[in-house]
Amino acid sequence: MVAAVAAADDLELVAALGTGDDRAVLHGDLVDVAVHFQPALALMDDLRRCTEQGVHSVVGTTGLGDPELHLVRDWCDAAPEVGVLVAPNFGIGAVLLMRFAAQAAPYFESVEVVEYHHPDKADAPSGTARRTAELVAAARTSPSPDATRTGLAGARGADVEGVRVHAVRLRGMLAHEEVLLGSPGEVLTLRHDSTDRESFMPGALLGVRRVAAHPGLTVGLEHYLDPSAAAPSGPFARGPGRRSPSPRRSSPPRAARSAAPAAA
């Protein structure tokens, strides 16, 4: 991420911070956008500091639940000019997979999600799989049929708003997801594979460039893909009543990366 920001002609890298580094640079007078890739517990203090100090944030940390998102939204309400993007996945292909799955979900009787990651990943299911299941569930009007009455604990995966999500942890994998949709006589399989972390950089840079134009909390990079799209709805999206974004700076956005070493 540091190399990607430094290589971008329209961005200026101000600092790259790790565990224990001085956070004084996280101030709106010194930096415009902070990019966060650290464990969830370490993230919240930095994210609160940035929001209070007028610094927009792009968050790639996974494992954030409703309590954490409610806190972030409260901080944004107190600083309505600040934008915070929480993106379960920065891969453009992964974001499109989520969109396609939500579009297809109403037309199939059954749907399940399978995600595959390296065994060093700390959370399961992945944030991407959870977000996919949430979008699929919102697009459906009835649950998938399932006659299972007995079985080993966990055999049917996690239940995310009525959608079954299965997590595989396997050496050799990086980040992969399948959405399986079925009806009598046919199965549609949607799959995305990230084989190199470089695939996350275009989406992360897109977030850095656009977060200032999206005040408040936005969950999901999909809301940034189409600049003409309507504001996202839902409890963790930009809601009505947000103030207009601040005028764009004529100089390149100044970015700081606030991160502890962590597996994606």
Fold of 92-143+154-196: Dihydrodipicolinate Reductase; domain 2 (3.30.360)
pLDDT reported for residue 228: 55
Say which residue the tokens 């005028």 belong to.
Answer: 247
Say which residue the tokens 């991407």 belong to.
Answer: 128
pLDDT reported for residue 252: 57
Cβ atoms < 10 Å from Cβ of 84: 28
pLDDT reported for residue 247: 38
Show which residues are catalytic.
Answer: 117, 121
Say which residue the tokens 């299965």 belong to.
Answer: 166
CA 248 to chain centre: 24
User: Which pairing describes strands 110-117 and 254-259: parallel, antiparallel, or unpaired?
Assistant: unpaired
CATH 3.40.50.720 domain residues, the chain? 2-89+198-259
CATH 3.30.360.10 domain residues, the chain? 92-143+154-196
| 206, amino acid identity | L
pLDDT reported for residue 226: 74
pLDDT reported for residue 117: 97
Fold of 2-89+198-259: Rossmann fold (3.40.50)
pLDDT reported for residue 107: 98
Of the candidates 68, 179, 55, the one whose C-alpha atom is nearest the C-alpha of residue 115 is 179
Of the candidates 119, 126, 120, the one whose C-alpha atom is nearest the C-alpha of residue 169 is 119
Q: What is the dihedral of CA 84, 202, 97, 172, to 10 degrees?
A: -110
Q: Is the peptide bond before 235 cis (omega within 30 degrees of 0)?
A: no
pLDDT reported for residue 254: 60
Token reading at 240 = 């009505």
pLDDT reported for residue 253: 63
pLDDT reported for residue 172: 96
Cα–Cα distances (Å) from 237 to 70, 188, 214, 216, 232, in that order, read: 11, 29, 10, 8, 6
**250-254: which pairs have CB atoms within 8 A and are 24 or more residues apart?**
251/12, 252/9, 252/10, 252/11, 252/12, 253/10, 253/11, 253/12, 253/32, 253/33, 253/208, 253/209, 253/212, 254/11, 254/12, 254/14, 254/30, 254/31, 254/32, 254/33
Of the candidates 28, 225, 186, the one whose C-alpha atom is nearest the C-alpha of residue 107 is 186
Q: Where are the alpha helices (DSSP H) in the chain?
A: 2-7, 40-52, 66-78, 92-104, 127-139, 201-210, 222-225
pLDDT reported for residue 185: 98
Say which residue the tokens 């993007």 belong to.
Answer: 85
Q: Which residues does the chain have with pLDDT short of 50? A: 229-250, 258-264
pLDDT reported for residue 242: 36
